[in-house]
Amino acid sequence: MLRSVDFHGLRAVEFSKGDYTALVIPEIGANLVRLCHTGLGAEILRTPAADEIETFRRRPQVFGMPLLFPPNRIADGRYEFDGRTYRFPITIEKEHNYHHGILKSQPFAVSKAWETDEETLVECRYYSNAGNDAVFRDFPHEFKCKLIYRLTPRGMEVEAMFANRSRLPMPVGAGFHTPMRIPFAGGAAEDYVMRAAVGEEIELDARKLPTGRRLPLSERFARLRGEGLQVTGCEPIEAAFTVRGIEVDGREFRGALVENRRSGARTFFEADGQTTSWTLWNNGGEVPYCCPEPQSWTTNAPNAADPAAEGFRSVAPGDKWSMRFRLYAQ
């Protein structure tokens, strides 16, 4: 099934394959606001309700799977690259930081949509250029961004692709601010734990910026690699980590999963090798979601002592770069 629908006053694309149903809102960042495994009754992502649409418009980062470009924070809203200074508006006054970028709120256009026996595909595109001032005024590169959603009976595959259409090397850093729904299929917060492929903790200062130090996992966060950690109905979490795979079902897993300890049902968010760090955030701990945020570069990487070591990269004129993810339940 593939169709255009009205979602509480917003145009949406609804599609399904196998036991999965998905919903994308092209006009607000091409956000994948719903992914449900109907057989398990598992809502994998936090979906805005009718009375939350205005909140979704203002803060799309707390629903679905919004794209962050760049991910997380840029100290003082500026950095230098290739002899140029990039300046962004301060969006967190108390920290004097820029955060989360603007693509999460921009209107994308549906460029492809089809259904075959094997998959249902929806592709959305955004072009930044001098005539589209929302992004270009702060990031003066012409580029194309594509978000490609492939839904199969095995779950959702997501690709975020950036193509440099400018004449200069273009910095590229991206991530997703993904509120995984907890509980996802009934029960209480204490019935659920999260596991994640975290390595070391990235020490953060009072401005939520990396200090440059890597710390061994605390006893609390070490549970993310083992038996799992309760991440909702608990104390606040806002922490950053390097990536190191964990073993799940006898294989290496790079991602985060949420497990209902009573039923054994699990939801998965799997990242490819382009993800170099995680931020884990539960918005105070008393909300029904927690965000494992995969990032292609460490927070504030362009201003680090060694940006390349923190995942900072650029794309040459005419070239492209992408990162991929999988979401599924079982």
Q: pLDDT tens for residues 95-110?
A: 999 999 989 999 999 9
Q: What pLDDT does 133 receive?
A: 74
Q: What is the value of pTM for the model shown?
A: 0.96
* Helix, strand, or coil (residue 48): coil
Does residue 307 have a cis bond before it (omega within 30 degrees)? no
- Tell the residue number behind the tokens 């596991």, with chain if given: 195
Cβ count within 10 A of residue 315: 18
**Interacting residues of 60 by C-beta distance below 8 A, sequence separation 6+:** 28, 29, 31, 66, 104, 105
**Interacting residues of 282 by C-beta distance below 8 A, sequence separation 6+:** 231, 232, 234, 236, 237, 238, 289, 290, 291
235 φ/ψ angles, rounded to the nearest 5 degrees? -70, 160
Residue 132: pLDDT band with limits 50, 70, 90: confident
Task: Please check the confidence at residue 290 and state whether its pLDDT lies above 80.
Answer: yes
The C-alpha atoms of residue 240 and residue 214 are separated, in whole angstroms, by 10
Does residue 70 have a cis bond before it (omega within 30 degrees)? yes
Nearest to 102 by CA among 62, 138, 147: 138
The least confident of 128-137, 147-156, 222-231, 316-325 is 128-137
Task: Please check the confidence at residue 192 and state whether its pLDDT lies above 90.
Answer: yes
- In 13-155, which ranges are continuous DSSP H helix? 53-58, 133-136
Per 3-state DSSP, the chain is made up of helix, strand and coil in percentages (nearest 5) of: 10, 50, 40
Give the DSSP letter string of 103-140.
Answer: GGGSPPEEEEEEE-SS-EEEEEEEEE-TTSHHHHTTS-
Within 13 Å and on the Cβ side, how many CA atoms surround 3? Answer: 5
Task: Please check the confidence at residue 140 and state whether its pLDDT lies above 80.
Answer: yes
Angle at 151 between CA 320 and CA 70, to 5 degrees: 35
Residue 291: pLDDT band with limits 50, 70, 90: very high
Nearest to 173 by CA among 29, 315, 77: 315
Query: Cα Rg for the chain, rounded, in angstroms?
Result: 19
Task: Please check the confidence at residue 308 and state whether its pLDDT lies above 80.
Answer: yes
Contact status, residue 130 vs residue 157, Cβ threshold 8 Å: no
According to CATH, the topology of domain 2-329 is Beta-galactosidase; Chain A, domain 5 (2.70.98)
The C-alpha atoms of residue 45 and residue 2 are separated, in whole angstroms, by 20
Average pLDDT estimate for 278-301: 98
Residue 203: pLDDT band with limits 50, 70, 90: very high
Mean pLDDT of the chain: 97
The DSSP 8-state label assigned to residue 191 in this structure reads: G
- In the chain, which ranges are continuous DSSP H helix? 53-58, 133-136, 219-222
Nearest to 81 by CA among 284, 299, 241, 314: 314
Which sign does the torsion angle of CA 69, 70, 75, 81 carry?
Answer: negative
Q: Which of residues 133 and 100 earns the better pLDDT score?
A: 100
Q: What pLDDT does 131 receive?
A: 86
Task: Please check the confidence at residue 134 and state whether its pLDDT lies above 90.
Answer: no
Average pLDDT estimate for 229-248: 98
Q: What are the boundaries of each domain within the chain?
A: 2-329
